[in-house]
Structure 1
Amino acid sequence: MNASMSAAVGLATIDAAEVQLMETMYHDPGTGLRHLDRHLSRLAHSAAVLGYEFGEREVRRHLAHQLSCAGAARVRVRLHRDGGVDVDVFAPPVAPACVSLVLDDEPVDSLDILLGHKTTLRERYDRRRHRNPDADDVVLVNEHGHVTETTIANLAARIDGVWWTPPLSSGCLPGVERSWQLDRGLMRERILTPSDLLAAEALAVTSSLKGVLPATLRP
């Protein structure tokens, strides 16, 4: 399937269900929402690509209303196709000291447009997690045998003293923490394989919600 066909399939999937665009953030009562501007920029980009109405002022208004008295929290913004906004506030996440990972053997399509956008369409990720209940998270691999990300985070491997993360062309979400790390030169991009991960000096998963966490991969 070529890129244009994959894009058409992805858009048809969005149109066939009440799918919302989504951003998940960490709220600190002292400093506010972590990486808020980056999250809103990603949301605006996804809305433009996938044909959703987006008003940054409206999103910020809903966030301010919901978080006026909030403490530490996990915050989820959901954007409807017509521009409607929902904000969900949850207890803050509990991060493990080290994230245990396992490889999944069902390949993802690197040309699937939806891999590059965070939506409420989560079945592909939930399916992989459910069949690997003994691991904290699951590493996805594309049709070329290149690792992409995990079901809820971006991935990084330290090789020869450098932290590397898969390029977006492998088929992964442009994570907010990932972009922050790249912009500061703390990580670089390269294609990674399962063998690279197994031989790496160290592994990590990154997300705006939990930051950078050490990880291990089960052979």
Structure 2
Amino acid sequence: MASQPHSSIPPESFSIISTLRYDPQIPAVASKSHADIYPYPKDSPYYLLPFHRDRLLNAATHFNWAKAIEFLQLDTTQFSQLLDKSISDQSKPWRLRIAVDSQGNCTVDVNPAAPCSPRSLFIPSADIETEAATQLPPWKLYLDTQPTEPSAFTTHKTTVRDEYTSARERVGITSLLDPVEVLVFNPQEEVMEGSITTPYFRRRSHIVDTAGSGSGSGEDGFIWVTPPLSSGGNAGTTRRYALEKGFCVERLVKVDELVDGEECWLSNGVRGFIRAVVVLER
């Protein structure tokens, strides 16, 4: 789709989307090892399934798509049964991209999911962080070279993705398989989000605005923070998970407070939680 003012994009030309992981290992790990930090339903192979339904419904409500809203009045069992029709081999992990248009038509694109440890799908804890540190090197997290204007298409995930595609191109990301991400920021120089992830930064707890949800407190005087939606980023499913389970709190993150080499976390609905390091000096 060619770039054009968001106000002029007709409803019939785009869909609302959510992307999630199907992984047959999730139920066993969720119920046995992480029952206290994983939301209902714990027996579903679809990662954070109700959160994805809610995300789509919130987007349909924002755009006032009556037929899409009607379609998305699905309970967890109905939603799971709908997705099951697209899974050809239930013994393997898959990446599902759910798209719903303004008329309530739903399509599900299925592709092999990138391999990851099942434990990376759960909010980081001390043992998970230790395991993660011994596995793959952290992703590199670059900062975009120009701001992105917040809009309904940054708050809600849709097929209108030109800003994110451009941000990735500006820092040289060529593939979704590359262990590289770009941080987008608004004209006020507030970090919004990553192009395909939610970021989390480690900050001293005494300077964190405690108005955010969740405790996120650390015994060492530090806390994990993620940018508030008021900065313009997406209401992601793993972001909601991290906030509800107290891994982090919301707080403004300004571009000028990022530190070259600082360690952070990223997350999304396909890969879970990913270690990353900020790279400001290329």
Q: What TM-score do the two structures reach when normalised by structure 1? A: 0.87
Task: Find 2:224's aligned residue among 160, 163, 171.
Answer: 163
1:148 aligns with 2:168: no
Query: Which secondary structure does the structure 1 equivalent of 2:148 belong to?
Result: coil
- 8 Å Cα contact 2:16-2:59 kept in structure 1: yes
2 CA distance for matches of 1:199 and 1:68? 44
Query: Which secondary structure does the structure 2 equivalent of 1:66 belong to?
Result: coil
Task: Find 1:13's aligned residue among 9, 13, 33.
Answer: 9
Task: Find 1:33's aligned residue among 18, 29, 46.
Answer: 46
2 CA distance for matches of 1:127 and 1:103? 13
Structure 2 counterpart of 1:175, which letter?
A: G
Q: What residue is the counterpart of 2:250 in the other structure?
A: 189
The 1:138–1:43 alpha-carbon spacing in structure 2 relative to 1, beyond 3 Å, is same
| Unaligned ranges ≥5, structure 2 | 28-44, 117-135, 174-178, 205-221
2 CA distance for matches of 1:21 and 1:187? 27
2 CA distance for matches of 1:195 and 1:61? 47
Structure 2 counterpart of 1:12, which letter?
A: S
Task: Find 2:61's aligned residue among 40, 48, 59.
Answer: 48
Give the CA deviation at 1:14. Answer: 4.4
Q: What residue is the counterpart of 2:140 in the other structure?
A: 100
Structure 2 counterpart of 1:13, which letter?
A: I
Q: What residue is the counterpart of 1:6 in the other structure?
A: none
1:64 aligns with 2:84: yes
Give the CA deviation at 1:89. Answer: 0.7
Q: What residue is the counterpart of 2:17 in the other structure?
A: 22
The 1:200–1:166 alpha-carbon spacing in structure 2 relative to 1, beyond 3 Å, is farther
The 1:209–1:14 alpha-carbon spacing in structure 2 relative to 1, beyond 3 Å, is farther
- 8 Å Cα contact 2:261-2:279 kept in structure 1: no
Query: Which secondary structure does the structure 1 equivalent of 2:99 belong to?
Result: strand
Computing the radius of gyration from Cα coordinates, the structure with the larger value is 2
Structure 2 counterpart of 1:191, which letter?
A: L
- 8 Å Cα contact 1:74-1:91 kept in structure 2: yes
User: Could you report, residue by residue, the CA deviation over 1:89-145 in whole angstroms, capped at 9, with x for unpaired residues?
Assistant: 1111246631111111221123x1221111111111111111211671111111111
Structure 1 counterpart of 2:200, which letter?
A: A
1 CA distance for matches of 2:105 and 2:79? 9
Q: What residue is the counterpart of 2:216 in the other structure?
A: none
The 1:138–1:148 alpha-carbon spacing in structure 2 relative to 1, beyond 3 Å, is same
- 8 Å Cα contact 2:189-2:254 kept in structure 1: yes
Query: Which secondary structure does the structure 2 equivalent of 1:203 belong to?
Result: strand
2 CA distance for matches of 1:41 and 1:12? 26
2 CA distance for matches of 1:189 and 1:176? 15
2 CA distance for matches of 1:180 and 1:27? 17
| Unaligned ranges ≥5, structure 1 | 1-8
Q: What residue is the counterpart of 1:86 in the other structure?
A: 107
1:205 aligns with 2:245: no
- 8 Å Cα contact 2:262-2:278 kept in structure 1: no
1:118 aligns with 2:162: no
Q: What TM-score do the two structures reach when normalised by structure 2? A: 0.68
